[in-house]
Amino acid sequence: MAQFAATLLSESKAVGSIPTTGKCYYYVRQMFKKFALFIAFTAVGIGIATKYNQLHSVPDLPELDLERWWGDGDKPKQEDKSIRPFKVVFNDTMIEDLKSRLKNRRSYTRPMEGTQSEYGMNTVYLEKMLNYWMEEYNFKERAKRLNRFPHYKTKIQGLDIHYIRVKPEAKNLKVLPLLLMHGWPSSSKEFDMAIPMLTTPRSGYDFIFEVVAIDLPGFGFSEGTNKPGLSPLQMSIIMRNLMKRLGFKKYYIQAGDWGSQTGTHLATVFQDEVLGFHTNMPVSSRPISNLKYILGSLFPSFIVEEKHRHRMYPLKDLFSYLMRESGYFHLQATKPDTIGAALADTPAGLAAYTLEKIGVCSNRDQLHTPHGGLAEIDIDDLLDTVTILWANERITTSVRVYAEAFAWPEVFVVHEIPTYVPTAAINFLYEVVYQPDWILRDKFPNLVHSTTLDFGGHFAAMHTPKELVDDVFESVVEFIKFHERNNYNK
């Protein structure tokens, strides 16, 4: 107010020292103008400061029941905590039924003239895949291939959880525990090419990994729940309790898609238990990150390097892509049981629906081809994924994660809490969304390793396993350095 008193005094001198009615009116009008400007600028300043603080504020961690029961009925007094060996079996009854349904499928409407995969799954290409599945895909040999790793099941919070655990044979090397988590519509099968690379010693590294590759609840060979609420946040608790069951107090994580969301929550809620988090789908969902993304469309040079700018801007390209490709997401996030019922009785429909999404997420620039991006992944690996979904009747329980992820306020709260676990990000070209390090650090302040490649897609472990594993080894070196520095500073 002292500044305004000086201003008013200056105004009074400007109109003369002897006040008249006109001069008084002028004086009062000028006073109110200045005062109004003062109020306006103050309000704007307070609003900006308040919004800035809101965007940067960190909520308290919500109360979470770490033993919440997801099994049928009420929690029993005595839980089954046994760990049981498991073997993948594609039995004759399932195979015969599947082939019968494929053989008796209706003929498909052909793609329209001048189109390939722009309208979705190219049905001419689909017919070839279905015929291969029916006549050439070797169910027994594929099951045998999956069984080259030790498989297990154990009940966690009432659900039978399936996982692969591979203990390497290594002398004079540190053995580091690594939890691998997949996304939709996949399973632990997604990692079957990466696992041997992770458990084989390599030159220049004094460590190797003991791998635990899981099937998320409701995916693959893991049991789903009939109780609402099993979000990726709740899945992270199940994964943490699984690792405790297996004797791991601390461990590393590699994950993509919903596995990455689960891993992000795990690294946020249990920050003292995760040694490092490596993700091929790095995303910060904090409000400040969303604001940066939008403001970056006005000043992109402040947000992202020029060579990677096309991955984010112009926003109209991103919105066009999301509008074209996110219909399945909206359906699964709102009516998962409807699409589940539509696909549960038709292996051909299940293949068309899931494989089309795998193709476009592997290379969305190939919609002008019959395969729509699928040709970049081996057909047997693709059909392994669909066969596991079909054999275990997991389509409905797996798509429900989309609805559960957006239905519970606690999930959004945890998204807003940074994790200080050392983190590494690898960005393949056709990942669904790209965020530069400056945005990722809103959620992951200790982003110690970041790689951006001009190839590859969403299903990295199945599509580009070597590059993914190479980056995991490089990242763990940085994680170890981070902890050494941290201990030294203490």
Crossing angle of helices 395-404 and 327-334, in 10° steps, is: 90
Q: Is the pLDDT of residue 5 over 50?
A: no
Provide CB contacts within 8 A for 382, sequence distance 6+: 129, 355, 358, 374
Buried b (16+ CB within 10 A) or exposed e, 238-264: bbbbbbeebebeebbbbbbbbbbbbbb
Quick one: average pLDDT of 20-43? 56
Q: What is the pLDDT of residue 71?
A: 97
Q: What is the pLDDT of residue 17?
A: 47
Q: Is the pLDDT of residue 10 over 60?
A: no
Q: Is the pLDDT of residue 41 over 50?
A: no
Reported as a pLDDT band with limits 50, 70 and 90, residue 255 is very high
Quick one: average pLDDT of 20-42? 56
Range of weakest confidence among 71-80, 91-100, 210-219, 480-489:
480-489
Reported as a pLDDT band with limits 50, 70 and 90, residue 54 is low
Q: What is the pLDDT of residue 24?
A: 59
Which of 278, 415, 449, 458 is an active site residue? 458
Per-residue CA distances from 429 to 316, 363, 376, 457 (Å): 19, 8, 14, 6
CA dihedral 73, 76, 82, 84 (to 10 degrees): -20
Reported as a pLDDT band with limits 50, 70 and 90, residue 303 is confident
Give me the CATH code for the 83-286+326-489 domain, please: 3.40.50.1820
Q: What is the pLDDT of residue 297?
A: 86
- Residue among 153, 173, 171, 169 nearest 161 (CA): 153
Q: Is the pLDDT of residue 490 over 70?
A: no
Residue 225 near residue 212, CB atoms below 8 Å: no
Residue 463 near residue 456, CB atoms below 8 Å: yes
β 274-279/251-255 pair status: parallel
> Which residues is 278 bridged to in the sheet?
254, 424
Quick one: average pLDDT of 63-73? 96
User: Which tens digit of pLDDT belongs to each residue from 423-450?
Assistant: 999 999 999 999 999 999 999 999 999 9
Q: What is the pLDDT of residue 39?
A: 60
Burial label for 76, CB within 10 Å (0-12, 13-18, 19+), is: exposed
Tokens of 345: 């009785």
Q: Is the pLDDT of residue 14 over 50?
A: no
Q: Report the predicted TM-score, pTM, of the whole model to 2 decimal places.
A: 0.88
Which of 402, 415, 430, 471 is an active site residue? 402
Per-residue CA distances from 180 to 65, 81, 452 (Å): 24, 22, 21
Reported as a pLDDT band with limits 50, 70 and 90, residue 301 is confident
Range of weakest confidence among 126-135, 304-313, 401-410:
304-313
Q: Is the pLDDT of residue 319 over 80?
A: yes
Residue 428 near residue 452, CB atoms below 8 Å: no
Reported as a pLDDT band with limits 50, 70 and 90, residue 30 is low
In the predicted model, what is the mean pLDDT of the chain?
91
User: Which tens digit of pLDDT belongs to each residue from 169-194?
Assistant: 888 999 999 999 999 999 999 999 99
**SS3 of 179, please?**
strand
Q: Is the pLDDT of residue 400 over 50?
A: yes
pLDDT > 70 in the chain, percent: 88
Reported as a pLDDT band with limits 50, 70 and 90, residue 53 is low
Reported as a pLDDT band with limits 50, 70 and 90, residue 142 is very high
Tokens of 54: 């809101």
Q: Is the pLDDT of residue 202 over 90?
A: yes
Domain ranges of the chain: 2-56, 83-286+326-489
Range of weakest confidence among 106-120, 306-320, 423-437:
306-320
Q: Is the pLDDT of residue 34 over 90?
A: no
Which of 160, 192, 215, 257 is an active site residue? 257
Quick one: average pLDDT of 116-135? 98
192 noted as active-site residue? no
Quick one: average pLDDT of 158-165? 98
Q: Is the pLDDT of residue 354 over 50?
A: yes
384 noted as active-site residue? no
Quick one: average pLDDT of 400-420? 97
